[in-house]
Amino acid sequence: MATVKPAVKKGAELQAEITTTAVPFGQVAIWWLGQASFCFKLGPTIVYFDPFYQNLTRMPHAMQAMPLRPDEYTGASLILVSHGHLDHLDPETLPGASAASPHATSLLPACDVQAATACGANPQQLYPMRGDDTFEREGVRITAIPAAHETLTYTDEFGYHFLGYVIEGNGVSLYHAGDIQPYPGWYERVKRWELDVAFLPISHRDNLHYTQAVYFCALHQPQLVVPIHFGMFPDYTEDPIRFVGQLRKNVPGQRVEVLQVGELFTYS
């Protein structure tokens, strides 16, 4: 079994921090929950992204302990799901998170609604997204950005099968790219926003190579970039310091933050 890195905070301690943290206008509180999973708090509004809990006995064995169990994803108004792969739409975690946050709306690709319902997520909470569409709740505006994961998959019935999301609220704009590779039209979609924070996967296999994430920063100049999707599984990881080093060489002045799982980071 791979060596397991502990989370900075977890369980009830982390839940309490999420609940009690005050987030003034112009700020966002960020907790990395491992892999592509996050908690964002914009003012009073809690948003979970790709809720995922990997029990350490489940295969493939994880290198990173996950800080929240499915029933600990509490207090959310919005739950965002990028696509149907296990570490993004987990058939154990999404139903638990939906039950733990019964008033949340869960946005997900339209093609994955049936799978989410079949695994036990409350269908009344599910809201299908097709890509290039928007949803707004409690002053937080969500725009679905198509993503090319294995391919840029589109069908007339469901729209785009892989998504990232731009999250706008409390005076800040965030872009979580989901799992993505560069594709024609990606730049034009993203350039509509002056991004405060960009969350970019750097694990390379069916995702960005860290040098491609550097190129994204050169093009879009987010105020802050956060590398994600590393440190979880042995064959799907990358050393974020390589990314940081290339940023310093090629995009001088780009602010970057390598987060620790379960630790609060506040952007302002």
pLDDT digits (tens, 9 = 90+) for 124-151: 999 999 999 999 999 999 999 999 997 9
2 confidence band (pLDDT: 50, 70, 90): low
Decide if 87 is inside a domain: yes
Considering the domain boundaries, does residue 2 fall inside one? no
b/e per residue 194-224 (b: at least 16 CB within 10 A)? ebbbbbbbbbbebbbbbebbbbbbeebebeb
Mean pLDDT on 6-16:
97
Buried b (16+ CB within 10 A) or exposed e, 10-44: beeebbebbeeeebeeebbbbbbbbbbbbbbbbbe
* 156 pLDDT above the threshold of 80: yes
pLDDT of residue 208: 95
For helices 240-250 and 210-220, give the axis angle rounded to 10 degrees: 40
Predicted pLDDT of residue 260 = 97
The answer to whether residues 159 and 191 touch, using CB atoms and an 8 Å cutoff, is no
Residue 5 located in a structural domain: no
**What's the gap between Cα 215 and its chain centre?**
20
Q: How many domains does the chain have?
A: 1
Taking only the tens place, the pLDDT of each residue in 82-124 is 998 888 899 999 999 999 999 999 999 999 999 999 999 999 9
The predicted-structure confidence for 177-236, as pLDDT tens digits, reads as follows 999 999 999 999 999 999 999 999 998 878 999 999 999 999 999 999 999 998 777 777
pLDDT number for residue 205:
79
SS3 track for the chain: CCCCECCCCCHHHHHHHHHHCCCCCCCEEEEEEECCEEEEEECCEEEEECCCCCCCCCCCCCCECCCCCHHHCCCCCEEECCCCCCCCCCCCHHHHHHHHCCCCEEEEEHHHHHHHHHCCCCHHHEEEECCCCEEEECCEEEEEEECECCCCCEECCCEECCEEEEEEECCEEEEECCCCECCCCHHHHHCCCCCCEEEEECCCCCCCCHHHHHHHHHHHCCCEEEEECCCCCCCCCCCHHHHHHHHHHHCCCCCECCCCCCCEEEEC
> pTM for the whole thing?
0.96
| pLDDT tens per residue across span 169-182 | 999 999 999 999 99
Q: Considering the domain boundaries, does residue 1 fall inside one?
A: no
Domain that holds residue 132: 11-267
Asked if residue 6 is part of any domain, the answer here is: no
Average pLDDT in the chain: 94
Model pLDDT for residues 13-36, shown as the tens digit of each residue: 999 999 999 999 999 999 999 999
Q: Is residue 215 part of a domain?
A: yes
**238 within 8 A of 204, measured Cβ to Cβ:** yes
CATH number of the domain that residue 20 is part of: 3.60.15.10
In a domain, 129, yes or no: yes
In a domain, 138, yes or no: yes
